[in-house]
Amino acid sequence: MTAIDVLLADITALDVDVVVNAANADLAGGGGVDGAIHRAAGPTVLAECREVIARRGRLSAGEVEPTGAGDLPARWVFHAVGPIWGTADPEVQDRQLADCYRRSISLAAELGASSVAFPNISTGVYAYPRERAAHVAVEAVLAATRDSAIERIVFACFDQENLDLTRSAWEELR
């Protein structure tokens, strides 16, 4: 069974195999958790992101691409593009957000990772309603880890509100 932790934490400092980045469609770095991950990881991650974009073009909401982790303690960074709230039907956006979590867990298992840390994808400048996002995230992680070899999931919340909402969703849905 996968252990799940919900923490108020700096995702860039966690000792996990995979750090999931709340990325933009161009994998260009930015603000919030995306900027923090790129700053902490150093220039090699951005260089790998540019190679991904040159090879395949912009990513769509729900897609995930791996890179190395640069200077982070992790082995990989998975760049997950969450939906921008209000740009599509809410149910479509729920599926796109859930895909960020499901695809990250599936890819982590394929690569032999045993631990994954997630930020609160799309709840910052992408304005996804935080309570709704917490439920989508926890449901997706619980479903994706039922038969998974992933040993540990960390929800690395960046503020008290996301921490409280994610813990509440975890307590309700587990």
Say if residue 120's pLDDT is above 90: yes
Q: Pick from 97, 41, 32, 94: which is nearest to 66 by CA? A: 41
Mean pLDDT across 20-27: 97
Residue type, 87: T
Q: What is the pLDDT of residues 36-69, one digit of tens each?
A: 999 999 999 999 999 999 999 999 999 999 999 9
- Does pLDDT of 141 surpass 90? yes
At 85 the pLDDT is 97
- How does residue 6 score in pLDDT terms, banded at 50, 70 and 90? very high
Q: Is 34 a catalytic residue?
A: yes
Tell me the CATH number at 150.
Answer: 3.40.220.10
CA distance 105 to 30: 24
What is the number of domains present in the chain? 1
pLDDT band at residue 1 under the 50/70/90 scheme: confident
- Whether pLDDT at 30 is above 90: no
What pLDDT sits at residue 139?
98
DSSP conformation letters of the chain = --EEEEEE--GGG---SEEEEEE-TT----SHHHHHHHHHH-HHHHHHHHHHHHHH-PPPTT-EEEEE-TTSSSSEEEEEEPPPTTSS-HHHHHHHHHHHHHHHHHHHHHHT--EEEE--TTSSTT---HHHHHHHHHHHHHHHHTT----EEEEEESSHHHHHHHHHHHHHH-
Query: What is the tens place of the pLDDT at every residue in 65-106?
Result: 999 999 999 999 999 999 999 999 999 999 999 999 999 999
List 34, 71, 89, 164, catalytic entry? 34
Q: Give me the percent of the chain exceeding a pLDDT of 90.
A: 96
User: Which burial class, exposed, middle or buried, applies to 154 when counting CB atoms under 10 A from its CB (0-12, 13-18, 19+)?
Assistant: buried
Task: Print the domain residue range for 108.
Answer: 3-173
Q: Tell me if 134 sits within 8 A of 168, measured CB to CB.
A: yes
Q: Yes or no: say if 19 and 74 are a contact pair by the CB < 8 Å rule.
A: yes
